[in-house]
Amino acid sequence: MNTVSNTRLQVMWNRLLSVVEEQGQALIRAAFSPIVRECGDISAGIFDVKGRMIAQAVTGTPGHINTMAEAVMTLRKHFPIGSMRPGDIYLTNDPWIASGHLNDFLLLMPVFYQDSVIGFTSCTSHLVDLGGQGMGPEGSDVFDEGLRIPLCKLLDKGEINQLLLEIVKANSREPIANEGDIYALIACCESGAKRLVEMMDEFGIVDLDTLSNYIIDTSRRGTYDAISDVPKGVWTSTLRVDGYEKEIELKAKLTVDENSMVLDFAGTSDCSQKGINVPLNYATAYSVFALRCIIGPDIPNNAGSLEPFIVKAPKGCILNAQPPSPVAMRHTLGQMTPDLVYGCLHQALPGKVPAEGASCMYDLPMRSAPEVAQRGGTVFALEPAHNGGTGARPTKDGLSATAFPSGVWGSQVEITEASVPVIIRSRELRRDSGGAGTFRGGLGQRIELQSSNDQPFGVFLSVERIKHPAMGRDGGLPGAPGRVRLDGGTDLPGKGEVRVAPNQTLIFETPGGGGYGPPDKRGPDAIASDIAEDFVSFEVARDVYGWEEDK
């Protein structure tokens, strides 16, 4: 017969999960970067003395899921444990160690109990600006993209490395915000460490070994169980995407065996010359997120639950970009990887995964034209985020204008207009943009905007699915592709700078999600409702769904 101590371990596990959530919340509240506020682009985690992750906050974006676990291992191996002192904190923003681009700063703090290191706290946040060409795909290598900080010590026994801080500030367009964010990250590590020590006091433990073994073993076992429900075998898929200067083919091979799921991206196109390349850590985060949505989503992220998922790719392919490739906009393709992964998983588990969706978020970075500043006009920069439709689910329609796989919040028109001199003339769903199917894909949206102060402005696009729409599954039809153009002009490519003159209107249409199952199997009530809500036109209902008014 077991004793209560197992329950106490579980209580401590719950406590750790609550501590990382609290840290995550505090970090989001203190952050200066809109991407953190709107997307929760942060992470917080607790690690055992070996560097194994035992708890991680569930935050807005999946981009930190494996990246943080891997990064801490790297830092843990780099700095000898004997050299660590209470109050030390380590730092890096190396895209290939931290989280795929320079803006993500990762901190690691050793936690001491009775004079020994017993574990670590770590956190990551997206900083506003690291110099270089800033957020955008235009850099030709990582050096163009801003300041890279190698593995280093940020705090030495509680004393901040002032020179390092000054260098970060000197290399940024937003030095004060960066400083604020770095101090928020420090506070996050410190408060996590304090809470961890308090928990050890309360439960009377002097190290985390038993607890961390319990968490990791339980989670690994649960994940093995979940994987054992998946048929064994090998499945492949290909996803063709727009790319920047050339189209790109993403390829995946999923191998499922008793205790693991292995993804291999061999055959995927080479890197782009522009900053849409993806370091493998980031591609892994989104791919594993996609798998974990289906395989054991109730099991918290930690070294045990992540271990059975292995992602590989040949060096130099666009999902395993090597230094010094430019990577600033790694999320553009990173967010496409769930569709690639589901292409495989659908074959293994029919009826479980959604159709393809818009997937890549449609952010709209706007800046005043350069000559406006020279003339003394209003200078501005803002990056409102928007989304297309998600793919239809096996038993439900897709969600219209909703982020997936990212957790980005869409911007409010009133806030955008109050912040920058633009007028949004309309923002409505695009009728007929959801892929037809037994279950319909989510609709995209159409946004029209123009200058409000007779000054030109620029938009810096890095969006997908302009040429290649979201495909349906099992007979479902594709969603409408995205479309960007100037009123009366020709269609624009999905990447690059667009200049909007004072008298012009930019029309920005986000893609619809793919449908699921053949359209002629869609129930008449669902079609009638789609017509009544004006999600689907009568013509499409008739021609695609075979709808007859009196049926």
Partner 1 sequence: MQSLPGFRIAVDVGGTFTDTVLVDAKNQILASCKTPTTPENPTMGAMEGVRRVLSESGVAIPDIRNFVHGTTLATNALIERRGARTAVTTTDGFRDILEIAYERRYSQYDINLSKPDLIVPRRRCFTISERMLADGTVHVPLDTTDIAKLLAQIDECGAEAIAICFLHSYTNGTHERQLCQILQAERPNLALSLSCEISPEAREFERLCTAVANAYVQPIMAHYLIDLQSTLQTEGLICPIMMMTSGGGMTTLETAAQHPIRLVESGPAGGALLAARIAESLEQRSVLSFDMGGTTAKLCLIDDYKPQTSRKFEISRAERFIKGSGMPVRIPVIEMIEIGAGGGSIASVDRLGRIGVGPESAGSEPGPAAFAKGGTHPTVTDADVVTGFIEPGLFAEGRLQIDLDAARSALAQVGTSIGLDETAAAIGVSEIVDENMASAGRTHAVEAGKDITGRTMIAFGGNGPLHATRVARRARVSRIIVPLNPGVGSAVGFLFAPVAFEIVRSRYTRLDQLDVDEINSFFDQLTNEARSVVKLAASHGELSTTRIAFMRYHGQGHEIEIELPDRNLIKRDISELVSAFEVEYSRQFSRAVPGMSIEVLNWAVTVSTPPIPTDQASDVSSVQPIQVTATKSVICDVSGGAIEAAVFMRDTLNVGDQIAGPALIIEPQTTTLVSADFDAQVLADFSILLTKKSGAET
Contact positions with partner 1 (CB under 8 A) in 298-327:
298-299
Compute the distance between CA of residue 549 and CA of residue 551 in angstroms, rounded to an integer: 6
DSSP for residue 64 = G
| Stretch touching partner 1 by CB under 8 A, among 93-101, 266-274, 444-452, 462-470 | 444-452
CA dihedral 399, 403, 404, 406 (to 10 degrees): -160
The smaller minimum CB distance to partner 1, of residues 94 and 530, is found at 530
**Residue selected from 165, 177, 205, 310 as contacting partner 1 according to rule CB under 8 A:** 177
Q: Residue 526 interacts with partner 1 (CB under 8 A)?
A: no
Q: Give the interface size with partner 1 as a residue count (CB under 8 A).
A: 89
Q: Residue 259 interacts with partner 1 (CB under 8 A)?
A: no
338 preceded by cis ω (within 30°)? no
Compute the distance between CA of residue 269 and CA of residue 281 in angstroms, rounded to an integer: 17
Q: Residue 125 interacts with partner 1 (CB under 8 A)?
A: no
Q: Residue 196 interacts with partner 1 (CB under 8 A)?
A: no
**CA angle (314, 318, 324) in 5-degree steps:** 95
Q: Residue 201 interacts with partner 1 (CB under 8 A)?
A: yes
Q: Residue 165 interacts with partner 1 (CB under 8 A)?
A: no
The smaller minimum CB distance to partner 1, of residues 49 and 53, is found at 53
Residue 284 half-sphere exposure, CB side, CA atoms within 13 Å? 28
| Stretch touching partner 1 by CB under 8 A, among 15-23, 67-75, 246-254, 269-277 | 15-23
| Stretch touching partner 1 by CB under 8 A, among 26-34, 249-257, 321-329, 432-440 | 26-34
- Considering the complex, what minimum distance in angstroms separates the CB of residue 166 from partner 1? 14
Taking phi over 0 as left and psi of -120 to 50 as alpha, with beta for the rest, 473 belongs to beta
The smaller minimum CB distance to partner 1, of residues 82 and 204, is found at 204
DSSP for residue 85 = -
Contact positions with partner 1 (CB under 8 A) in 476-515:
none
| Stretch touching partner 1 by CB under 8 A, among 116-124, 144-152, 173-181, 520-528 | 173-181
Contact positions with partner 1 (CB under 8 A) in 271-300:
292-294, 297-299
Amino acid at 475: G
Q: Are strands 89-92 and 483-486 parallel, antiparallel or unpaired?
A: unpaired
Question: E strand or H helix at 256, and its extent?
Answer: strand 248-257
Contact positions with partner 1 (CB under 8 A) in 378-437:
385-387, 393, 395-396, 399-404, 407-410, 412-415, 417-418, 423, 425-429
Compute the distance between CA of residue 329 and CA of residue 350 in angstroms, rounded to an integer: 33
Question: E strand or H helix at 238, and its extent?
Answer: strand 233-241
Rg of the chain taking only CA atoms, in angstroms: 24
**Residue selected from 156, 159, 225, 487 as contacting partner 1 according to rule CB under 8 A:** 225
Q: Residue 63 interacts with partner 1 (CB under 8 A)?
A: no
